[in-house]
Structure 1
Amino acid sequence: MTRRAPYPTDLSDERWGLIGPMLENWRAARHHRALDTAYARFPRLRTLWADSAFRTTCIEHAARLGIAIEVVQRAPGSRGFVPLPRRWTIERTFGWLMMFRRLARDYETLPARSAALIQLRMIDLMARRLTGESTPTWRGT
C-alpha cells in the first residue's frame, strides 16, 4: 500500500498554529472595518446587537467608538431550535423581503440596485400596513 503525497491544503497542527492567528487577525480587521463604516454612515449609532461570534473581536473597538454591543446568546440549557429575541427580528425581516419576487433570487448585478429594491419593498410593506390592504403573494401562482 502506497502512501499518498500530502496536499498543500492539508493542515497539520503545526501549520494551523501559524495560520490560526492570522485568520483571527483578518476576521477582527474585517469586523473593525464594518464597525467603522457603520459609525461613519450613522454617527448617532449607540447600540448594536451581535451574534456570539462577535463577542471577542468587536467589543473593545466599538467601545472606542462609543457604541455598546449587546451579544445575543442562547439561554443556557436550551436544546433544538430556540428563537433568539433580536435575531428573530432580523430573520422575520428577511422573510418579508423574500415575499418580493425580485429579491427572492440574486438577480441584480449592482449592489446599489439591490439596496434600492430592498427600500422599495419596505416602503411597499409599510404602505400596505398603513392602508390595511392584504399583501398579494406570487408563491400561490
Structure 2
Amino acid sequence: MSTMQVEVVSNEQSIYEGEASFVVVPTVNGELGIYPRHEPVMSLVRPGALRLTMPDGKEEVLVAIAGGVLEVRPHKITVLADVAVRSSEMDEARATAAKKAAEESLAKAQTPGSRAKAEIALEAAIAQLKTLDYIKAHKHK
C-alpha cells in the first residue's frame, strides 16, 4: 500500500509526524480526502476532525484542529494548525465547559485582542466537540 508523509503542527508543538495511507482534512470548502500522489493543493483549514488512516488501513488517528493552513504535495501533507489536540487527550465535559467559557469571554470582550483570543478558544472547543461527535458516530461500526 502506498503511503505519504504527514506532519501536523500547532502553534505550540508537533502533534503528529509519520506516514498515512489516507487523510481527511476539514477545509473551508468542505472535507478534502487525500491519497498519496495527490495533486498539490493549498487550503485554509476550518475547525473539525482531521482523520489519518495508518498504513495498515485498520487504525485511524484523529486530531481536532481549529483553523490553519493545509499544504498538499504528492508525497507529503503539512497542516499548520492554530490549535490541534489528539483525540486521546480530549474530554467531552472539558470541551463543553471550554466552549461555554469561550462564548462568555467573547460576549464580554472589549478589545480586538481579547476578542481574537476568545474566538480562537471557541474554535478549539468546537473542533474538539466535532471530533468527539465523529468518534461517537463511528464507534459502533
Query: TM-score band (shorter)?
Result: under 0.3
Q: Which has the higher helix share?
A: 1
Q: Which has the higher strand share?
A: 2
TM-score by length of 1: 0.24
TM-score by length of 2: 0.24
- Of structures 1 and 2, the one scoring higher in RCO (CA 8 A, sep 6+) is 2
